[in-house]
Amino acid sequence: MLKSAEKILAAAVLAGVLAATGIAIADPQPAPGKAVAAKGETDKARQAVNVPAPAAAPAPAAKPIALGRPALAEEITAWNTDVRADGEGLPPGKGSVKEGEELFLQNCAQCHGEFGEGAGRWPVLAGGRGTLKSERPEKTIGSFWPYASTVYDYVHRAMPFGSNMTLSADQTYAIVAYLLNLNDLVPEDYVLSKDNFPKVDLPNEANFFDDDRETSEKAFWKKDPCMKECSGEVHVTARAQILNVTPDGEAPKGNLE
């Protein structure tokens, strides 16, 4: 962003350029002296004189829009529930794996299974370690997620599905402790709290990195990208029926609509 001094300079330069090229600029309130001095001069000169002088004083502060009111501190607090990777945003509180097990059985197991294995087709929350590179990766808190703080944030914000935001801070700590235990990340007698939270590392964290496509795909980001016939000649190598992805049999008869 331009600093204000630079803005003023830029405005002055722009005004100069426009004046030099003879482009008329309407001055809403020409200084009286200037207007008088302009009388009888050639058009070009008059336009140059009528160019608004670059504002020396800073622009007046924008008026607030007459809409709504500033948010109250209480309202901001109610919305500001996110928990960051470094633990910033965690509320005071604590909860044990044991308490978490009980709460999980009451509130979560019907969908996620007693051990986070997932009931039916509901999401699996534990296990899956070592499967990320396999044909069927199982992405769970233990195998995939980068930060434990996301578990707190997500469970507190979005679960139990259908009655979210009903868990207290202590209950959420306890359930997260149980989920970490199901993923073999903390022992059975663990008590999770705001203080020891940042010490819990998830195994897959190192595999997350900042978007590096600008360097890793540098060759792709050309000034003159190919926009037409870029892939060369296309050869048909097989037909769907030969590949056996189209069922045999006769085509349906009649109007299908």
The least distance separating ligand HEC from the CB of residue 7, rounded to whole angstroms, comes to 46
Of the listed pieces 105-113, 190-198, 212-220, 230-238, which binds ligand HEC according to CB under 6 A? Answer: 105-113
Residue 115 binding ligand HEC, by CB under 6 A: no
Nearest to ligand HEC of 92, 123 (CB atom): 123
Interface with ligand HEC (CB under 6 A), residue from 125, 126, 185, 186: 125
**Binding of ligand HEC by 108 (CB under 6 A):** yes
Is 208 a residue that touches ligand HEC (CB under 6 A)? no
Count residues contacting ligand HEC (CB under 6 A)?
Answer: 17
Phi-psi region of 202 (alpha: psi -120 to 50; beta: other; left: phi over 0): beta
CB of 56 to ligand HEC, least distance (A): 56
Is the torsion defined by CA of 44, 46, 49, 51 positive or negative?
A: negative
Task: For 150-170, give one letter per residue: b (16+ CB within 10 A) or e.
Answer: bbbbbbbeebbeeeeeebebb
State yes or no: residue 11 binds ligand HEC (CB under 6 A).
Answer: no
Site for ligand HEC in 162-181 (CB under 6 A): 162, 175
Query: Considering only 43-51, 73-81, 88-96, 157-165, which stretch makes contact with ligand HEC by CB under 6 A?
Result: 157-165
Query: Least distance to ligand HEC from the beta carbon of 76, Å?
Result: 26
Q: Using CB under 6 A, which of 122, 129, 131, 196 touches ligand HEC? A: 122
* Angstrom distance (rounded) from CA 24 to CA 256: 67
The answer to whether 123 contacts ligand HEC (rule: CB under 6 A) is yes
When asked if residue 110 is in the footprint of ligand HEC (CB under 6 A), the reply is yes
DSSP secondary structure of 112-128: H-TTSS-STTSPP-S--
Nearer residue to ligand HEC within complex by CB, 110 or 131: 110
Q: Residue 130 CB, nearest distance to ligand HEC (Å)?
A: 17
Choose one: 13-21, 44-52, 120-128, 213-221; the region binding ligand HEC (CB under 6 A). 120-128
Q: Which residue is nearest to ligand HEC (CB)?
A: 108
Q: Applying CB under 6 A, does 149 fall inside the site for ligand HEC?
A: no
Interface contacts to ligand HEC, rule CB under 6 A: 107-108, 110-112, 122-123, 125, 139, 151, 154-155, 159-162, 175
